[in-house]
Amino acid sequence: MNRMLRRLLNQLGRAILRPAFNRNSSPLFAALSILCLSLACALVPCAPACHAESAPRLERHARKVQKKLAKYAPGKYLHLSLIDDTESYGALGALSSSSFRFTNADTNTTTTYEYADVSRIKTDKEYIGEGTAPERHIRHLVPILIGAAAAGGAVAYLEMH
């Protein structure tokens, strides 16, 4: 690996410095070329590898979540959707500067979550345990009354004719 790197740098150096050492070039031009190349090689390790822009976005999201949770009183029943695609139902606990406590309704354990770990917050009705979510009830009185009125109308029609 070291030999291959040395060979590559030798070829690169010859390609850059060969025009500087022509018979027609001045010694000042050659010295400036070597100085610029050495300065560039010295400054390369100082340059950052990449520019990270995701940190401010996460901080902004965390601040939004913190402001939203600050509106709710401790003990408020919430439905949290987390970034790792899990959900948690329970009661809000104490808030701090970077995290908050949350009591899970299923296991009755208190967990500390970071604000950045929460993707969505919803307020829900109380949820006692697995399979006890409120169901939609069909009101049976309206169809029964409509059926009785239709049957009565049919009987009255048959009696008249």
Mean pLDDT, the chain, integer: 75
Per-residue pLDDT at 34 exceeds 80: no
Q: How confident is the model at residue 10 (pLDDT cuts 50, 70, 90)?
A: low
Q: What is the CATH architecture assignment of 54-123? A: Roll (2.30)
Its pTM surpasses 0.85:
no
Per-residue pLDDT at 102 exceeds 90: yes
Query: Which range is least confidently modeled, 1-5, 57-61, 69-73, 102-106?
Result: 1-5
Report pLDDT for 153: 85
Q: How confident is the model at residue 114 (pLDDT cuts 50, 70, 90)?
A: very high
Per-residue pLDDT at 128 exceeds 80: no
Per-residue pLDDT at 21 exceeds 90: no
How far are the Cα atoms of 20, 39, 135 from residue 36, in angstroms, in the given order?
Answer: 12, 5, 75
- DSSP codes joined into one string, the chain: -HHHHHHHHHHHHHHHHGGGG-TTS-HHHHHHHHHHHHHHHHHGGGS-S----HHHHHHHHHHHHHHHHHTSPTT-EEEEEETTS-EEEEEEEEE-SSEEEEEETTT--EEEEEGGGEEEEEE-----STT-SPPPPPP-HHHHHHHHHHHHHHHHHHHH-
Could you state, in order of their start, the residue ranges of all structural domains in the chain? 2-46, 54-123
Q: What is the sign of the dihedral through the CA atoms of 145, 147, 151 and 153? A: positive
Residues 94-116, mean pLDDT to the nearest whole number? 90
Residues 7-15, mean pLDDT to the nearest whole number? 58
